[in-house]
Amino acid sequence: MRINPLVSEWINLAARWAHVFAAILWVGSTYFFTWLDGRFEEAARTAEGKHGEVWMVHSGGFYVVEKQKGLERLPPALHWFRWEAATTWLTGMVLLVVVYYMGGALVDRDVWDVGAGTAAAASLAVLAAGWVVYDLLVLSPLGKNEKVFAAVAFMLVVVASYGLTRLFSARAAYVHLGAIFGTIMAANVWQRILPAQSRMVAALKEGHKPDEAHDARAKLRSKHNTFMAVPVVFTMISHHFTSAYGHEYNWVILSALVLAGWVAAKFIRRA
């Protein structure tokens, strides 16, 4: 199905604008809280295990933040960070539909000679499969060993990179790996992080002590999101670099760039 080029261009503009801005808010808040956790860990090492306070200055004001390990009482107002993730993913899907499903950029008949509908169905199946495989991997015993989990995850990235370049156009393959990461990140927020935190709040409302295991599981998923964010940003702009996705070994380059993104995220988390 094709849509009027002028209409498509305006939808593309609006969706891309909203997508980039929402992603800035989402990734920014994610790394801000990661930075805060790092400062509290430093304070705990120098203050006999107490988290203490973090003082900041910004926009002409001074801010002090104190971390609570768990909920002992329900605060008057609890601010949730959720809609940035939903908006980023939804606008990303709009772009995927407009540019790739309807725009003709998904199929390369020299790679896989199928119709646009079949390719779009394969695309949606790939996104769903990416979340299912990741989620099962985290829930498995492998999820408890960070180094083993990272090694297995990277091997799956290599397999996915190779497979995607054998399903879609080279440009679409790069974007789809980013879409897999983005889908996992959004699902982490809405299917794992927010429900865990909601259960802690619900327990407090019922007069019970919240289970700190929920907090640990949510924090692990949030940590994974910080590592996926850097490669996602690259895949968002990858269509500008034909030397990468147009190369004979584009899947090797994509895998290497994901690994480079993970290394960069490791350093950013320490900053």
pTM over 0.95: no
Domain of 35 in residue numbering reads as 5-270
122 or 216: which leads in pLDDT: 122
* Least confident stretch, 3-17, 173-187, 234-248: 3-17
Domains held by the chain: number: 1
Higher pLDDT, 201 or 112: 112
Q: Can you give the pLDDT at residue 239?
A: 87
The pLDDT value recorded for residue 167 is 97
Q: Read off the pLDDT band of 271 (50, 70, 90).
A: low
**d(Cα 53, Cα 55) in Å, to the nearest integer?**
6
Cα–Cα nearest to 217, from 232, 245, 196, 243: 196
Q: What is the pLDDT of residues 15-30, one digit of tens each?
A: 999 999 999 999 999 9
* pLDDT the model gives residue 202: 87
Note the pLDDT of residue 81.
85
Cβ atoms 235, 261 nearer than 8 A = no
pLDDT in tens, 58-87: 888 998 888 876 667 777 788 888 899 999
Among 24-33, 197-206, 257-266, which is the least confidently predicted range?
Answer: 197-206
More confident residue, 96 or 216: 96
